[in-house]
Every structure is written in structure tokens, then in C-alpha cells.
């Protein structure tokens, strides 16, 4: 059995024990269990008490962001907090990752929760008292560093959830595993990292979770809204590289060489017709983006080559393969027509983020109980990508979205993730803690 992402189904990748767990989960009413409402109420109360501290954590992390595989200070704050709570703590997983284990006082399943910790090479443009002024080296250049994707919020939320659950540990029916992950945005060149490396280094073992939960802030939704989707939710991401080679000559005598700059420009335009004219977009979305072009050093010198890098986003295996073939053909033939060559490399990136349908259905009433019906909404597929998908290839998972745009602002015009103007309404932190903690309790109680 294969899902829409082309992966083997439950009995092949999740295992029969996990399949039985998810099916049992889907058959029971939300909130069921001996701890029930009283335990949920305790967790909500502790989360409210933790809110000021969680906001303080977030502001500190925001002011001191760290790039992928360099989250040393961030990891130290997490380790100190989990250790104070009395959790079993493992450090140095996938370079700077932290794994904490909270064992409840009652028998039950193992549930994993994940937060990412890394920031981006973005110079902050938001006027905040805790705005980042940090600079670091990235690909040989000095860059500004900013939490422009909300990973500071994710980390603060999971730290708060750890505290809320630790305070009721004797009543918890099972074990909670906290994964604080580095390098979700991608490891530096020549390094390994992120979820794939966390898994390779045993983050999902001893004990092995039956399922995993995670969230991401969403500037496209207002504060007070939670969004979810069953099945394919975020895109498969592949890394695209194209090197166009021509023949260098004087800029005043272009006919004496082969201009790779002009060829590169034609290839960029040609690639856009693949998505707009050659694939069946009503069947599934797709994106081809060139994010960087570099060639030449001087205005009057036509260079030998131009280098381009970009990203490919797809949701279906067949469409993905077709687009890859069309990219190679388009770039090659355009270059050939001008007497140049185009070398295309496509490196596999993150798989499709696939929310287990039974788990998602079981958790929808929990989300609705947290924010009220009408505020827990289904989301269309999103062409962003997430390495949370690697965990979902191992065990069933649910990845949902937390609205962060102030109610007085228009989410349609709010700065997106990765923007230097990215902004978070910090009231979302409490809602994120409440949602993640209540989902965890529902999964533990089955």
C-alpha cells in the first residue's frame, strides 16, 4: 500500500504494533481516560502560569539566533531547562540536538513532540526591543541572522509544554519524548543534519514513540486559529542547480564568444513554462523557483559560465519525475540552441509532509476543544517543505499550524516566513502550548 507521497503504507513502514495503536486511537472519543478533564485542566492551568516565562524564552532566543548546526547556546538553554524538570536528557544528537524523556507515573504509550531550533541568514528589519543584531558566516559571507521562520517560538512552546507535563507526571499515562532539533532549514554545505540525522543517531529509539506531533507558526492565519490537513500537507522539496557554460569574450564583441548570461536568462523563462503550460496543475500544485544567479565579475567581460540554484516543489511522485525530466530537457535544448551547454543537477530534499489520516481525524475534536469550532480549520496544501516529514516516514505524525498574525492585521498582507519583516503575536505562544499539550494528553490516554 502506498500513500499519495508514494511511500509504503502502515504495515510496511510503521509496523503492525503502531498500526494497531493508531486504529485504536481513531476509535475512541477525545478526552477519554481515567485522568480525563481534571488532568487536562491541570495542564491548562500550568500552561497559563508558564506563559510569561515562555515569552521570555522566546525573546531571548530571538535576540540570540543561531544558524543550522550551530545552535550551541540555544541547546544549552534547552538542556538546562529539561534537566531542572528532572527529565532524562541526551545532548549532541545530530550536532546540537537535544532529546528529553519524561516518563509518566502510569503505563501507556510513547508520544514524541518536536521543535526546531535554527535561525536563518536574514537581517532583521522589525523594530523590536529584542530584535536580532547577530551576524555570522554563511557560505563564506558575513550575514545577518534572524529567527525569520518562528523556530524561536517553536522552541519556547515545547519548553513550556515540557514544564506543564512534568508538573503532572505522576498522573501521565505513558511517556513523552521531546525532540529539540537543529538544522531544519538545511545543514551547511558539506555537513549533515536535521531530522534525517536525528533519526540516524537514534532520536526515535529507546524508547521508540508510536507517533509524533509538531506545529509551525503561520502568518497567513490570525491569532486564535489552528489549521490542519489530513494526508499530503507540505511539498516534496528538491534542490536544483544549473551551470550554463559558454565561451568568454569581450563585452563589446559578444559574437566572438558564447554568452552564458543570455542563455541563463532564457532558461529561467523557459523553466516557468513547465509549470504554467506543461503540467496538470488542477491535479496537484508544483513550483520551480530560481533563487540565485551568479556569473561574471565585470561589466565588459562576458564570462565563461553562469551558476543558478533553485528549488522544485511537488506533491506527486509521477509529476515530480516528469518535471525533473522537463527541466533537464528545457535547459539542455535552450543552451544547445545558442551553442552553450547546461549541466543540471537535482538533489533530493525533504519528502512530502504527510499527516496520518486516522490520527488527524482523532485529533480534530481536540483542536476544536482548544480554540472552539470554526477556529480549527482545514488548510489547503502548502508548497513549503518541512523535514518533519522524515519522522512521518518512520511513525504516524500530525503537523499542524498556529496562527500568529495580530487580529488587527490582514493575514493576506502579513510578511511571510523567511522575510526580514516576519512578526509574531506572542499571545500565540500560550495557544500553541495548550494545543500541543492537550493533543499529547489525548494521544497518551488513547
Domain with 58 in it = 10-234+352-445
> Which of 348, 380, 413 is a domain's end point?
348
215 plus 265 within the same structural domain: no
Please give the grid coordinates belonging to residue 313. 516543489
The pLDDT assigned to 20 comes to 52
Hey, which residues does 243 pair with through a beta bridge? 307, 343
Determine, yes or no, domain membership for 2. Answer: no
Distance CA(10)–CA(3), nearest Å, equals: 9
- CB count within 10 Å of CB 126 equals 17
241 plus 227 within the same structural domain: no
Per annotation, catalytic residue among 44, 171, 343, 426: 426
262 plus 135 within the same structural domain: no
Q: For position 311, which CATH number holds?
A: 3.30.70.360
332 plus 400 within the same structural domain: no
CA proximity to 417, closest of 401, 433, 437, 398: 401
Determine, yes or no, domain membership for 423. Answer: yes
The pLDDT assigned to 139 comes to 85
Q: What is the pTM of this model?
A: 0.89
Distance CA(46)–CA(41), nearest Å, equals: 9
H/E stretch holding 136 reads: strand 135-138
What is the β-pairing status of strands 173-181 and 301-302? Answer: unpaired
The yes-or-no answer on residue 426 being catalytic is yes
Hey, which residues does 93 pair with through a beta bridge? 97
21 plus 139 within the same structural domain: yes
Determine, yes or no, domain membership for 5. Answer: no
Distance CA(380)–CA(352), nearest Å, equals: 14
Please give the grid coordinates belonging to residue 112. 514524541
96 plus 201 within the same structural domain: yes
Determine, yes or no, domain membership for 4. Answer: no
Distance CA(203)–CA(180), nearest Å, equals: 10
> Which of 317, 348, 379 is a domain's end point?
348
H/E stretch holding 330 reads: helix 317-337
Contact predicate 193/72, CB 8 Å:
no
CA proximity to 144, closest of 157, 163, 131: 131
Per annotation, catalytic residue among 350, 390, 391, 399: 350
Determine, yes or no, domain membership for 333. Answer: yes
Distance CA(3)–CA(7), nearest Å, equals: 6
The pLDDT assigned to 198 comes to 98
Please give the grid coordinates belonging to residue 161. 509544554
Determine, yes or no, domain membership for 76. Answer: yes
Contact predicate 301/250, CB 8 Å:
yes
392 plus 301 within the same structural domain: no
Number of domains in the chain: 2
Distance CA(395)–CA(114), nearest Å, equals: 13
pLDDT digit of tens for each residue in the chain (446 aa)? 333 333 333 333 454 445 455 545 544 444 443 334 589 999 999 999 999 999 999 999 999 999 999 999 999 999 999 999 999 999 999 999 999 999 999 999 999 999 999 999 999 999 999 999 999 999 889 999 999 999 999 999 999 999 999 999 999 999 999 999 999 999 998 999 999 999 999 999 999 999 999 999 999 999 999 999 999 999 999 999 999 999 999 999 999 999 999 999 999 999 999 999 999 999 999 999 999 999 999 999 999 999 999 999 999 999 999 999 999 999 999 999 999 999 999 999 999 999 999 999 999 999 999 999 999 999 999 999 999 999 999 999 999 999 999 999 999 999 999 999 999 999 999 999 999 999 999 999 97
The pLDDT assigned to 273 comes to 97
136 plus 48 within the same structural domain: yes
295 plus 419 within the same structural domain: no
DSSP 237-292: EEEEEEEEE-B-EETT-GGGSB-HHHHHHHHHHHHHHIIIIIS-TTTS--EEEEEE
Distance CA(196)–CA(198), nearest Å, equals: 5
222 plus 82 within the same structural domain: yes
131 plus 273 within the same structural domain: no
Q: For position 162, which CATH number holds?
A: 3.40.630.10
Determine, yes or no, domain membership for 109. Answer: yes
Determine, yes or no, domain membership for 301. Answer: yes
How far from each other are the two terminal CA atoms of the chain, in whole angstroms?
25
344 plus 361 within the same structural domain: no
Distance CA(39)–CA(29), nearest Å, equals: 16
- CB count within 10 Å of CB 253 equals 10
Hey, which residues does 311 pair with through a beta bridge? 239, 289
> Which of 348, 364, 379 is a domain's end point?
348
- In sequence order, the 6+-apart residues with CB closer than 8 A to the CB of 379 are 227, 228, 229, 233, 401
The pLDDT assigned to 25 comes to 54
DSSP strands (E only) in 393-437: 397-405
Amino acid at each position: 500500500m502506498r500513500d499519495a507521497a508514494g511511500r509504503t503504507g502502515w504495515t510496511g513502514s510503521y509496523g503492525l504494533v503502531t498500526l494497531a495503536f493508531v486504529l485504536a486511537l481513531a476509535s475512541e472519543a477525545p478526552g477519554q481516560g481515567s485522568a480525563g478533564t481534571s488532568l487536562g485542566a491541570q495542564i491548562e492551568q500550568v500552561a497559563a502560569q508558564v506563559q510569561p516565562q515562555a515569552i521570555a524564552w522566546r525573546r531571548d532566543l530571538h535576540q540570540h539566533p543561531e544558524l543550522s548546526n550551530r545552535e550551541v547556546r540555544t541547546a544549552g538553554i534547552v538542556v538546562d531547562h529539561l534537566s531542572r524538570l528532572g527529565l532524562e536528557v541526551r545532548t549532541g544528537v545530530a550536532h546540537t540536538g537535544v532529546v528529553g524523556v519524561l516518563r509518566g507515573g502510569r503505563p501507556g504509550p510513547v508520544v514524541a513532540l518536536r521543535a526546531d531550533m535554527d535561525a536563518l541568514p536574514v537581517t532583521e528589519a522589525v523594530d523590536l526591543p529584542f530584535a536580532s543584531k547577530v551576524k555570522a558566516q554563511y557560505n563564506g559571507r558575513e550575514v545577518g541572522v534572524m529567527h525569520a521562520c518562528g523556530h524561536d517560538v517553536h522552541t519556547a512552546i515545547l519548553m513550556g509544554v515540557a514544564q506543564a507535563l512534568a508538573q503532572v507526571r505522576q498522573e501521565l499515562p505513558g511517556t513523552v519524548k521531546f525532540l529539540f532539533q537543529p538544522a531544519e532549514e538545511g545543514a551547511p554545505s558539506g555537513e549533515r543534519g536535521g531530522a534525517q540525522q536525528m533519526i540516524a543517531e537514534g532520536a526515535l529509539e529507546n524508547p521508540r514513540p508510536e507517533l509524533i506531533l509538531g506545529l509551525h507558526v503561520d502568518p497567513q492565519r490570525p491569532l486564535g486559529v489552528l489549521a490542519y490537513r489530513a494526508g499530503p500537507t507540505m511539498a516534496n522539496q528538491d534542490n536544483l542547480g544549473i551551470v550554463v557554460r559558454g565561451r568568454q569574450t569581450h563585452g563589446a564583441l559578444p559574437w566572438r564568444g558564447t554568452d552564458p548570461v543570455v542563455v541563463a536568462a532564457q532558461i529561467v523563462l523557459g523553466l516557468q513554462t513547465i509549470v504554467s503550460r506543461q503540467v496538470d496543475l488542477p491535479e496537484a500544485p508544483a513550483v520551480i523557483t530560481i533563487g540565485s544567479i551568479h556569473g561574471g565579475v565585470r561589466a565588459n567581460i562576458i564570462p565563461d559560465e553562469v551558476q543558478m540554484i533553485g528549488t522544485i516543489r511537488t506533491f506527486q511522485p509521477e509529476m515530480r519525475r516528469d518535471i525533473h525530466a522537463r527541466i533537464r530537457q528545457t535547459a539542455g535544448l535552450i543552451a544547445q540552441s545558442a551553442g552553450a551547454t547546461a549541466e543540471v543537477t537535482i538533489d533530493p530534499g525533504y519528502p512530502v509532509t504527510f499527516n496520518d489520516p486516522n490520527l488527524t481525524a482523532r485529533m480534530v475534536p481536540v483542536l476544536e476543544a482548544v480554540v472552539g469550532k470554526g477556529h480549527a480549520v482545514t488548510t489547503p496544501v502548502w508548497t513549503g517543505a518541512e523535514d518533519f516529514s522524515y519522522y512521518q516516514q518512520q511513525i504516524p505524525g500530525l503537523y499542524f499550524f498556529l496562527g500568529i498574525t495580530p487580529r488587527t492585521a490582514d493575514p493576506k498582507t502579513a510578511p511571510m516566513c523567511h522575510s526580514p519583516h516576519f512578526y509574531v503575536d506572542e499571545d500565540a505562544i500560550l495557544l500553541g502550548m495548550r494545543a500541543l499539550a492537550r493533543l499529547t494528553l489525548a494521544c497518551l490516554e488513547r
